Amino acid sequence: MLPDEFQAVLAQQQINLSATQMQQFADYYQFLVATNEHLNLTAITAEAEVYLKHFYDSLTLAMVFPQLQTEALSLLDVGAGAGFPSLPVKLAFPQLQVSIVDSLNKRIRFLQDLAAKLNLEQVAFYHSRAEDFGSKRSSHRQSYDVVTARAVASMPVLAELCLPLVKKGGYFIAMKSSKGEQELAEADYAIKTLGGKVETVQQLTLPITEDPRTIMVIKKTKETPKTYPRKPGTISKAPLLDRI
């Protein structure tokens, strides 16, 4: 998917990118590839693949949750790596307030440099573990309208990392590939324990390759108990599963 095709396919979804926005995506691609030569950000570097598997794939978040297209929501991306999905969504819908938390400081520096290069406003980058970022002592706990993550961990783990950061009435949106529904079933106990309720599950395929995607929208209906998230290391070693 080359840039012109990217723009045309998005227009079919009523997402219309200006020449300025298209230039920002081009600058994003160039900076990503240049930085990737000395910092391992992505295994995907060919232009057509980046536009499809990173840029377009990221924007499926706003297709499934269209409030992101029009409302000035606060969006937190957990473990965004090279900025996916939140920064492509920010480029397309600049009214959003986007934050990224990542445990690797080198990636945070890349994102800060990228944001400056793209002249982005209302963006923030935090070097922290998600477990600490959402702890009961953190000012970020239960403070975001939308928290998202793209293939960072299994759903039971991801729910414990992300739901504590969602404000009551907000949403946790997980972006997964073909096994999303299976993971969601495994995460049922964790989601309920952490204050969430599954609202929608949408399956789609990427253009051209028809790679499957599953996007799960989980509403935060009650506050997360103060005992969660647990300490770093504990969540992945002993995920919240219904063992009855």
Specify binding-site residues. 79, 84, 130-131, 150
Residue 101 CA to residue 111 CA, distance in Å, equals 11
The annotation places the binding site for S-adenosyl-L-methionine at 79, 84, 130-131, 150
CB 123 within 8 A of CB 96: no
What residues have CB less than 8 Å from 133, skipping those under 6 apart? 101, 126, 140, 165
Q: SS3 helix, strand, coil % of the chain, rounded to 5?
A: 40, 20, 35
CB 96 within 8 A of CB 90: yes
Element (H, E) at 155: helix 155-162
Residue 1 CA to residue 209 CA, distance in Å, equals 10
